[in-house]
Amino acid sequence: MNNQYKVVNKSVKKIDGLALACGKPVFTEDLSNKDFLCVKILSSTKAHAKIKNIDISKAEALEGVKCILCYKNVPRIIRTTAGQGFPEPSPYDSFMFDDKVRFVGDRVAAVAAINEEIADKALELIKVEYEVLEHILDPRDAMKDGAPVIHDEKECKVIIPIDYRPEKNICASVSAIVGDVDTALTNSDYVFDITVHSPRAQHCATEPHISLAYLDEKDRIVIVTSTQVPFHVRRIVAQTLELPVKKIRVIKPRVGGAFGSKQEVCFEDIVAMITLKTGLPCKLKYSREEVFVSSRTRHEQYVTIKAGLNKDSKITAFDMYVLSNTGAYGSHGLTVMCNCGSKVLPLYPTDNINFKGHAVYTNTPVAGAYRGYGATQAAFAMEIIIDQMAEKLGVDPVEFRLSHHIQEGQGSAIFQALGEGREGVEQKVKTCGLPDCIKLGAKEIGWKEKYYKPKDKGPIKRGIGIAALMQGSSIPEIDMASASLKMNEDGSFNLLVGATDLGTGSDTVLAQIAAESLGISEEDIIVYSSDTDMTPFDVGAYASSTTYLSGMAVKNAAEQVKEQILKVVSEMFMEKDAIYTFANKKVKSNSGKEASFEEIALRALYQQNQFQIGSIGSAISHSSPPPFSAHFVEVEVDTETGKVIVLKYVAAVDCGTAINPKLAEGQTEGAVLNGISYALTENYILNSYGKMLNPNFRHYKTLKMNDIKEIKTILVPTHEPTGPYGAKSVSEISINGAMPAISNAIYNATGVRLTDAPFTPDRVLKALKSKI
Amino acid sequence: MQVNLNINNQNKTIEIEPGEILLDTLRNSGLHGPKRACSTGDCGACTVIINGEAVNSCLIFTASVDGAKILTVEGLGTVSNPHPLQKAFVEEGAVQCGYCIPGMLMSAKVLLDKNNNPSEEEIKTALGGHLCRCTGYVKQIKAVMKAALQLKGGR
Amino acid sequence: MRGIKEFLAPTNIEQVLEMLEKYQEKAVILAGGTHLALVKSSSAEIMIDIKKANLNYIKEDDNNIIIGACTRPVDIINNDMLKTFADGILVNAASKMGSKLTQNLITIGGNIASPFPWSSLPPALLVLEAKVSILSKQKNKIVPLQDLLKANPKNFINKNELITSIIIPKSSKNLKTSYITLSLTENDYDLVIVAVALLLESGICKKAKIALGSAISPCNTIDHIEPLLIEKKLSKEIINNVAKESITGLNLISDFRTTDEHRFEVIKTLVKRALENCM
């Protein structure tokens, strides 16, 4: 642990923690009341159909119904719902309401009524005439000749140069070529080839999606919403309603988890439109079933990696192909797919790399952002291939990774080749704590003893596996964060940040960074975040950017404030060439003079040459320094039932400086469990018609407290020079380890390789039987 | 119809629909702790304590608990005077988004009321009805153990 | 639940039966409420809450243990007598139901009156040869649970009738039992449930009951393998054979939770393990 810092790298209490633990009314739903209209959405029962007609007259006539929206009475504006920077790399392929539906659960109409009962009755009174079309569910069918075209609307388009071919159901394609893979593979001593399948999954944030909207006293639309991206919401809602941005305010209160599912305009446009039309406040909250079906999911993917290896242990080439199922609409379709390559291929340097992929439309629930964002699905394939390479050479998988991973000072051609819709950014790895992550994690799990022990004789077999990982910290040259600081007369500060705390603790972490800079306690920083009227711009919580990028913006603001403070101090002390230090809420001169923050603030606000000590700091990044992690898992496989239990999971993480170690551990532990659950129990079960059969927690299983055995986190500190106080990101990387590490562990236990997740008992048993 | 409920030590007479669900009654009466997150009794975010037992308020008909003593997180402690469980959860980093916490605290309280020295396994079983997607449960187990120690040693 | 106009809370069984007689299909019975709470609206206008009608008890007389229909899993788990009755099989089954939260709400009567394939208690009750007491204002029926499940409780129990108790013969007290399940997670509905109860005298099996849950509909005993155990001394060979034969002729439920192939394998494994536990 770094002892040089006073506030940073300390596990201070989360500043909103006690209010949350006391049930204070801080979530979106708590901010509504009985006067808010209840908004409900009529969703499609068809996987693919034209709406020949919709009759809302009976529903409109129902007493208590205030507004009904459908394609007939809203502007036909094409946009993307993806919460990304403008110009968005996702296709513009969705309308507020369309006269076509593209998956079971697609929007058909919205009803606003004075209470839920009347809203439900109104939904039943809406008559929809569908002309059913052929549908496709499997991404492997999407590009075939004769496949039904899901986006045949004339308006759909991309606004940056992307390979967009909706007539072939191609939402995006990507291709990056380094060196000569074909020749390299031909000349390699060994060639490996694996295809893995990662399923669709749901984030299962405890708080369902919810938005409120009302008109303020100036008739501006105020949207209070559980979102990761308030500024993108404002822009996209303005675009959809054909209003200037200045007419809209978006506020994010406390959010009950998001994990990517709320990096989207799920229905803020609808509540905004309803409040505009009725003049009344309204509320829309998804039921759990609607969250499963109509919000967003992880991209189902088939990832194929071919790799070459020589007897001398040199990795000669990687050839990765990704088939990504983006569902009925293309939000995040290109960028998730690009991440498969950009966050996985650089980990093991080689001279020859092919990366290709297609993101395709199908008539299934819409895929969007989900923690890991493509790296999860691709690491699954990569970490199995690496294990296979080690096995081929008779080398310990831990040793193989230690001798092959990217080193400090190294770069990768992939960094430049793959950006987010545009060219990427060349960078060299400045900090890499992966060797220590691997060594410490291996020791903690007992690698040497367990990997080499003789196989268990009975039906219950134990095994052990490893996965090495990297991710990124923010999107270089594209994302921007800003923060404003102003000083109060008691020496405290208001810190206004656009950055979005989803429960992740960013309010706390950013307060710590500001406090460290200023030499005060984080308790003297009053944080207010995510309000498009009050807080300066931030792209929002995604791409693991908040600590790294928003943190730099906070630091920049603090540095500017310190300069202003010094200006006041120099007037107060009238010294020449003095050296000042900031500590303990004071400025001290090397002459011995000192002034408290309170004295400085009072002077600046009230007494002499008055001005408001305050500033706005902004930041963009020119690189995306990867955090690194090594995951180890010990599993127990019941070879007679197929059930797999995780006995112990160790995650060793290099996130640079952990600004708040307990919060960094918490992020890691949460991501790890989500990853284990994704590997073992979670699955969308769609019938042949595209209807989800298990849209509830009764049949979509996630792991609970009585399912876990032991999870251990080890933070490995490094000091990233481009990050605030040496920080990198931490929140996404640890969801990527479980699938490959568990697959590797099952192989170690039983000799059977699972490549199709989740590894449910029936799949494990089937694989075991086919091996015999 | 009317029901009499003792909520957080306050007697209330509330007008309800005969088929009304307790979670809705509680939230309509101004409480924010118990939350609707799944409606099928699978996540525990709506958990309250009724006559000493932790139950999913989304599965209970209000009329059937007429006369009952109900505790929600608001009755457990306040920001200025938090219960040791609430303090421990915050100190151990067991609160991330906080949406599941009010419900989980109810189960933790029932556990510690009955068993002042729970093992890790006993904590996992007692809190097994709660879905938390943020934390991986690791720090929540630690927090309950910490609170148990504090409560044993006198508040 | 919308549509309910009146909520009644009778305080004894006679009142309940009076109300059922009066209202019949106009009424819906509220026991635990874990299914009813999910119903958004109903054509029934009257809700009859039976939880205050003194139906939560675990009693014994000379011949039987009688468990009231509103007894909950938590009550079964905490009952000292049931902890040792037939190796505690009812406590094992009750512990698998729901979570610690819903174990305070679910009722044994509700679990039987509206059974799901994965209901936890029926397999344990079947191997104990439980009977069900069904009352109406006019009649008092006692029906073997097995017959009730076969006939489908929803069809068998009339609108003016109520399950009031489960009756378990005390002769089951010393049976050697085992209750094993397979589920994805601790709180998941089981994919397969096997319950076994054997009467062993000097290691010889005199009586055997093996019940299968979450695999066949309705939940039932696997009668065809019982003769393979009678008058035999349990051995690994015999157990393996019984396990192998257990799936012969079974009509599996088909659900999205696992494949038939898998269920067959798991049934064999769990039958084998349950019998081994009794050895």
B41 part of a folded domain:
yes
Query: For helices A230-241 and A268-278, what crossing angle results, to 10°?
Result: 50
| Contact: C261, A761; criterion CB under 8 Å | no
Give me the residues of B, 87-116, that contact A with CB < 8 A.
Answer: 87, 89-102, 105
Tokens 């969705």 sit at which residue?
Answer: A94
Altogether, the residues listed in chain C come to a count of: 279
| Contact: A204, B133; criterion CB under 8 Å | yes
A16, A204, A705: best to mutate for the B interface, most B CBs within 10 A: A705
> What angle (nearest 5°) sits at the alpha carbon of residue A419, between those of residues A413 and A421?
140
**Interface membership of B132 toward A (CB under 8 Å):** yes
Residue-range definition of the domain harbouring residue B116 = 84-152
Taking the CB of residue A189, how many other CB atoms lie within 10 A of it? 13
C238 part of a folded domain:
yes
Question: Residue B109 maps to which CATH number?
Answer: 1.10.150.120
In a shared domain, residues C237 and C158: no
**Interface membership of B153 toward C (CB under 8 Å):** no
| Structure letter (DSSP) for residue A260 | T
**Interface membership of B49 toward A (CB under 8 Å):** no
Total domains in the fold of chain B: 2
What residues of C are in contact with residue B41 (Cβ under 8 Å)?
34, 37, 98, 101-102, 105
B123 part of a folded domain:
yes
Question: Per-residue pLDDT for C182 more than 80?
Answer: yes
The shares of helix, strand and coil residues in chain C, as percent rounded to the nearest 5, are 40, 25, 35
**Interface membership of A27 toward B (CB under 8 Å):** yes
Question: Per-residue pLDDT for C255 more than 90?
Answer: no
B117 part of a folded domain:
yes
In a shared domain, residues C143 and C184: no
In a shared domain, residues C65 and C24: no
Which of C49, C31, C40, C47 minimizes the C-alpha distance to C2? C40
Which of A568, A555, A537, A562 minimizes the C-alpha distance to A614? A562
| Contact: A13, B127; criterion CB under 8 Å | no
In a shared domain, residues C208 and C118: no
In a shared domain, residues A97 and A129: yes
| Contact: A765, C262; criterion CB under 8 Å | yes
In a shared domain, residues B94 and B56: no
| Contact: C182, A120; criterion CB under 8 Å | no
Q: Of the candidates B73, B94, B123, which is a domain's last residue?
A: B73
| Contact: A22, B79; criterion CB under 8 Å | yes
| Contact: B82, A21; criterion CB under 8 Å | yes
The confidence score (pLDDT) of residue C113 equals 94
pLDDT digit string, tens, across residues C45-103: 999 999 999 999 999 999 999 999 999 999 999 999 999 999 999 999 999 999 999 99
Give me the residues of C, 93-132, that contact B with CB < 8 A.
Answer: 98-102, 104-105
pLDDT digit string, tens, across residues C18-40: 999 999 999 999 999 999 999 99
Question: Residue A125 maps to which CATH number?
Answer: 3.90.1170.50
A399 part of a folded domain:
yes
Distance from CA of C84 to the nearest CA of A (A): 25
Please report the sign of the dihedral spanned by the C-alpha atoms of residue A137, residue A138, residue A139, residue A145.
negative
**Interface membership of B59 toward A (CB under 8 Å):** no
In a shared domain, residues A329 and A389: yes
Contact A649, A712 (CB under 8 A): yes
Q: How far is CA A662 from CA A469, B78, C104, in A?
A: 21, 24, 35
Which of A466, A430, A438 minimizes the C-alpha distance to A451? A466
| Contact: B131, A696; criterion CB under 8 Å | no
In a shared domain, residues B122 and B59: no
A115, A638, A640: best to mutate for the C interface, most C CBs within 10 A: A640
What's the whole-model pTM score? 0.97
Residue-range definition of the domain harbouring residue C152 = 58-171
Pairing of strands A300-309, A282-285: unpaired
Maximal C-alpha separation, chain A: 87
The confidence score (pLDDT) of residue A420 equals 67
Question: Residue C264 maps to which CATH number?
Answer: 3.30.390.50
Alpha-helical segments (H) within C134-213: 145-151, 153-156
Contact A703, C184 (CB under 8 A): no
In a shared domain, residues B58 and B94: no
What residues of B are in contact with residue C48 (Cβ under 8 Å)?
none
Question: Residue A463 maps to which CATH number?
Answer: 3.30.365.10
A204 part of a folded domain:
no
Three-state SS sequence of A106-168: CEEEEEEECCHHHHHHHHHHCEEEEEECCCCCCHHHHCCCCCCCCCCCCCCECCCCCCCEHHH
In a shared domain, residues B131 and B68: no
Which of A256, A502, A673 lies at the smallest CB-CB distance from B136? A673
Q: Of the candidates A605, A620, A635, which is a domain's last residue?
A: A620
**Interface membership of B122 toward A (CB under 8 Å):** no
What residues of B are in contact with residue C33 (Cβ under 8 Å)?
59-61, 64
| Contact: A505, B96; criterion CB under 8 Å | yes
Instruction: Say how far apart CA A583 and CA A580 lie, in whole Å.
Output: 10
Which of A120, A704, A762 lies at the smallest CB-CB distance from C259? A762
Distance from CA of B27 to the nearest CA of A (A): 9
In a shared domain, residues B107 and B69: no
**Interface membership of A761 toward C (CB under 8 Å):** yes
C1 part of a folded domain:
no
What residues of C are in contact with residue A693 (Cβ under 8 Å)?
256
C80 part of a folded domain:
yes
Which of C51, C114, C97, C56 minimizes the C-alpha distance to C193? C97
In a shared domain, residues B63 and B90: no
Distance from CA of B64 to the nearest CA of C (A): 7
The distance from CA A120 to its chain's CA centroid, rounded to whole angstroms, is: 33
Q: How far is CA C184 from CA A170, A254, A759, B132, C271, in A?
A: 36, 33, 10, 18, 19
C157 part of a folded domain:
yes
Distance from CA of A288 to the nearest CA of B (A): 5
> What angle (nearest 5°) sits at the alpha carbon of residue A544, between those of residues A543 and A548?
125
The distance from CA C242 to its chain's CA centroid, rounded to whole angstroms, is: 24
Q: Of the candidates A259, A285, A311, which is a domain's last residue?
A: A285
| Contact: B41, C101; criterion CB under 8 Å | yes
The confidence score (pLDDT) of residue C170 equals 96
**Interface membership of A711 toward B (CB under 8 Å):** yes
Which of C73, C61, C67, C88 minimizes the C-alpha distance to C34? C73
Q: Of the candidates B16, B40, B73, which is a domain's last residue?
A: B73
The confidence score (pLDDT) of residue B154 equals 63
**Interface membership of B57 toward C (CB under 8 Å):** no
Taking the CB of residue A246, how many other CB atoms lie within 10 A of it? 10
Per-residue confidence in pLDDT tens, chain B, 155 aa:
999 999 999 999 999 999 999 999 999 999 999 999 999 999 999 999 999 999 999 999 999 999 999 999 999 999 999 999 999 999 999 999 999 999 999 999 999 999 999 999 999 999 999 999 999 999 999 999 999 999 988 65
In a shared domain, residues C135 and C210: no
In a shared domain, residues A257 and A352: no
In a shared domain, residues A613 and A466: no
Instruction: Say how far apart CA A568 and CA A598 lie, in whole Å.
Output: 12
In chain C, what is the straight-line distance between the N-terminal and C-terminal CA atoms, in Å?
50
| Contact: B19, C7; criterion CB under 8 Å | yes
Task: List chains touching C (3+ CB pairs under 8 A).
Answer: A, B
Question: Residue B63 maps to which CATH number?
Answer: 3.10.20.30
In a shared domain, residues A258 and A273: yes
In a shared domain, residues A764 and A723: yes
In a shared domain, residues C185 and C274: yes
Q: Of the candidates C127, C149, C171, which is a domain's last residue?
A: C171
Instruction: Say how far apart CA C182 and CA C188 lie, in whole Å.
Output: 9
Tokens 């009654």 sit at which residue?
Answer: B25
What stretches in chain A show pLDDT beneath 70? 1-2, 420-422, 772
In a shared domain, residues A587 and A681: no
B78 part of a folded domain:
no
Give me the residues of A, 201-260, that contact B with CB < 8 A.
Answer: 203-208, 254-257, 259
Question: Residue C111 maps to which CATH number?
Answer: 3.30.465.10
In a shared domain, residues A256 and A370: no
A10 part of a folded domain:
no
The confidence score (pLDDT) of residue A421 equals 65
Which of B60, B63, B15 minimizes the C-alpha distance to B34? B60
Residue-range definition of the domain harbouring residue A265 = 32-133+209-285
Distance from CA of C85 to the nearest CA of B (A): 23
Q: Of the candidates B73, B102, B129, which is a domain's last residue?
A: B73
CB contacts < 8 A (B, C): 86
CA count, 13 A, side-chain hemisphere, B71: 17
In a shared domain, residues A445 and A510: no
In a shared domain, residues A277 and A324: no
Which of A616, A625, A618, A653 minimizes the C-alpha distance to A723? A625
Question: Per-residue pLDDT for C240 more than 70?
Answer: yes
B11 part of a folded domain:
yes
In chain C, the residue whose alpha carbon lies closest to the alpha carbon of A683 is C257
Total domains in the fold of chain A: 3
**Interface membership of A662 toward B (CB under 8 Å):** yes
A13, A15, A18: best to mutate for the B interface, most B CBs within 10 A: A18
The confidence score (pLDDT) of residue C16 equals 97
Pairing of strands A493-497, A525-529: parallel
**Interface membership of A99 toward B (CB under 8 Å):** no
A346 part of a folded domain:
yes
| Contact: B61, C2; criterion CB under 8 Å | no
Question: Residue C42 maps to which CATH number?
Answer: 3.30.43
In chain C, the residue whose alpha carbon lies closest to the alpha carbon of A684 is C256
In the numeric block, which tokens belong to residue B77?
């402690």
In a shared domain, residues A537 and A632: no
Total domains in the fold of chain C: 3
B79 part of a folded domain:
no
Give me the residues of B, 77-136, that contact C with CB < 8 A.
Answer: 107, 125-129
Give me the residues of A, 106-135, that contact C with CB < 8 A.
Answer: 117, 120
In a shared domain, residues A273 and A325: no
